Chain A
Amino acid sequence: MKSSRRRFLKIAGISALGLGAKPVLDVMASSSETAAPKTAKGENVLTAKRWALVIDTRKLQSEEDLDPMIEICDKIHNVPKFENKNHEIKWLWAEEFKHEFPMQEPDFLNDRLKHMSFLTLCNHCEKAPCVRVCPTKATFKREDGIVLMDFHRCIGCRFCMAACPYGSRSFNFRDPRPFIKETNPDFPTRTKGVVEKCNFCAERLAVGKLPACVEASNGALTFGDLDDPESEVRAVLRSNYTIRRKPALGTGPSVFYIV
Chain B
Amino acid sequence: MPNKKQMYDKGKVVIGLCILVALMTFPFWYNLGKAAPAPEPKLSEKAKAAKECVMPKAYMTSGHMQLLNEWRDTVVRDAKRIYTNPSGKKFNMSLSNTCLDCHVEKAEFCDKCHNYASVTPYCWDCHIDPKEAK
Q: CB within 8 Å of B: which residues of A?
A: 34-42, 45, 140, 142, 144, 148, 150-152, 183-186, 188-191, 202, 206
A-B residue pairs, 10 tightest by C-beta = A191-B125, A188-B126, A185-B130, A38-B84, A185-B133, A183-B133, A39-B80, A34-B86, A150-B76, A185-B128
Question: Are A206 and B79 touching (Cβ within 8 A)?
Answer: yes
Interface string of B5-37 (1 = CB under 8 A from A): 000000000000000000000000000000000
Of the four ranges (under 10, 10 to 19, 20 to 34, 35 or more), the interface on chain B belongs to: 20 to 34
Question: Are B80 and A41 touching (Cβ within 8 A)?
Answer: yes
A-side interface mostly: loop
Q: Chain B residues near A151 (CB, 8 Å)? A: 126
Asked if B127 is at the interface (CB within 8 A of a chain A CB), the reply is yes
Q: Chain A residues near B122 (CB, 8 Å)? A: 191
Q: Which residue of B has the minimal Cβ distance to A47?
A: B79
Question: Are B128 and A189 touching (Cβ within 8 A)?
Answer: yes
Known: A37-B55, A39-B78. A188 touches B85 (CB 8 A): no
Question: Are A39 and B82 touching (Cβ within 8 A)?
Answer: yes
Question: Are B81 and A206 touching (Cβ within 8 A)?
Answer: yes
Given contacts A39-B82, A185-B134, A189-B128, 11 further A-B contacts (CB under 8 A): A34-B86, A35-B86, A39-B84, A39-B93, A40-B84, A41-B82, A142-B79, A151-B126, A185-B128, A188-B96, A191-B126
Q: Chain B residues near A45 (CB, 8 Å)? A: 79
Asked if B42 is at the interface (CB within 8 A of a chain A CB), the reply is no
Interface string of B73-92 (1 = CB under 8 A from A): 01011111111111000000
Q: State how many angstroms separate the Cβ of A5 from the closest Cβ of chain B.
A: 52
Interface string of B52-64 (1 = CB under 8 A from A): 0001000000000
Q: Chain B residues near A202 (CB, 8 Å)? A: 79
Asked if B66 is at the interface (CB within 8 A of a chain A CB), the reply is no
Q: Which residue of B has the minimal Cβ distance to A183?
A: B133
B-side interface mostly: mixed
Known: A140-B77, A191-B125. A186 touches B96 (CB 8 A): yes
Q: Chain B residues near A140 (CB, 8 Å)? A: 77
Bound Cα distance from A38 to B84, whole angstroms: 5
Q: State how many angstroms separate the Cβ of A17 from the closest Cβ of chain B.
A: 35
Asked if B72 is at the interface (CB within 8 A of a chain A CB), the reply is yes
Q: Chain B residues near A39 (CB, 8 Å)? A: 74, 78, 80, 82-84, 93
Question: Are A40 and B82 touching (Cβ within 8 A)?
Answer: yes
Asked if B97 is at the interface (CB within 8 A of a chain A CB), the reply is yes
Q: Chain B residues near A184 (CB, 8 Å)? A: 133
Q: Chain B residues near A42 (CB, 8 Å)? A: 81-82
Bound Cα distance from A150 to B76, whole angstroms: 6
Question: Are A188 and B128 touching (Cβ within 8 A)?
Answer: yes
Q: Chain B residues near A148 (CB, 8 Å)? A: 76
Bound Cα distance from A36 to B97, whole angstroms: 23
Q: Chain A residues near B82 (CB, 8 Å)? A: 39-42
Q: Chain B residues near A189 (CB, 8 Å)? A: 126, 128
Question: Are A37 and B81 touching (Cβ within 8 A)?
Answer: no
Q: Chain A residues near B81 (CB, 8 Å)? A: 41-42, 206
Q: Chain A residues near B134 (CB, 8 Å)? A: 185
